[in-house]
Amino acid sequence: MSHGNEEVHKIYVNPNGTAVVKCPGCLTGKTVPADRFRGSKHILKVKCRCGNLFWIELEFRKFYRKHTSLSGSYFLLPEKIHRGRMLVLNISKGGVGLQIIGSHRLSPGQELMISFNLDDSQGSLLDRRVAVKLVNRNYIGCQFLGDVSHDKTLGFYLMA
């Protein structure tokens, strides 16, 4: 990400409301309170004690989101009708962001079964049940249903 001509460094805010900001120049890290920025613009200019000026973006998401471009398919539950093709644009431990290919009639609250292969060395197949949380034209934000906290395939993929 960039701000003007300058790079913006994404910093994830911990559940306790703090963030570790690391200077890209001298690599000095400092833990800072970040909760007061929740719900407002999160891009900030920071000056390190070494004199380096840089931009950070505070990310309050619960889970790290990995950007992808993975082809797959979906169908509407429980009827298993209204099949469609999709691209997985991002994935986290909590859910996925999908781009639906073609027209759709999806709305928040519906449940889908999605199926796609990861671009890991095994080409791992993921079949997951999700709830639609956000619909913005052909972008669909979904939350994984069920307990995915012990999903080793997804966990290893997100660490890569």
* Burial class of residue 131, CB neighbours in 10 A (0-12, 13-18, 19+): middle
Contact 71, 87 (CB under 8 A): yes
* Third-level CATH fold of 66-159: Thrombin, subunit H (2.40.10)
pLDDT at 41: 64
> Which pLDDT tens digit goes with each residue over 71-115?
999 999 988 777 899 999 999 888 999 999 999 999 999 999 999
CA–CA distance, 87 with 25 (Å, rounded to integer): 37
pLDDT at 151: 84
CA–CA distance, 20 with 14 (Å, rounded to integer): 9
Degrees (nearest 5) of the Cα angle 133, 139, 140?
Answer: 25
Residue 3 pLDDT exceeds 80: no
pLDDT at 42: 72
Q: How far is CA 123 from the centre of its chain?
A: 20
Residue 29 pLDDT exceeds 70: yes
Q: Would you state the structure tokens that stand for residue 13, as one six-digit string? A: 């805010």
CA–CA distance, 67 with 155 (Å, rounded to integer): 15
Q: Would the pTM count as exceeding 0.75?
A: no
The residue ranges of every structural domain in the chain are 2-59, 66-159
Contact 10, 22 (CB under 8 A): no
pLDDT at 138: 94
Contact 63, 92 (CB under 8 A): yes
CA–CA distance, 154 with 105 (Å, rounded to integer): 28
Q: What is the mean pLDDT of residues 51-55?
A: 94
Average per-residue pLDDT for the chain? 88
Could you give the percent of the chain with pLDDT greater than 70?
92
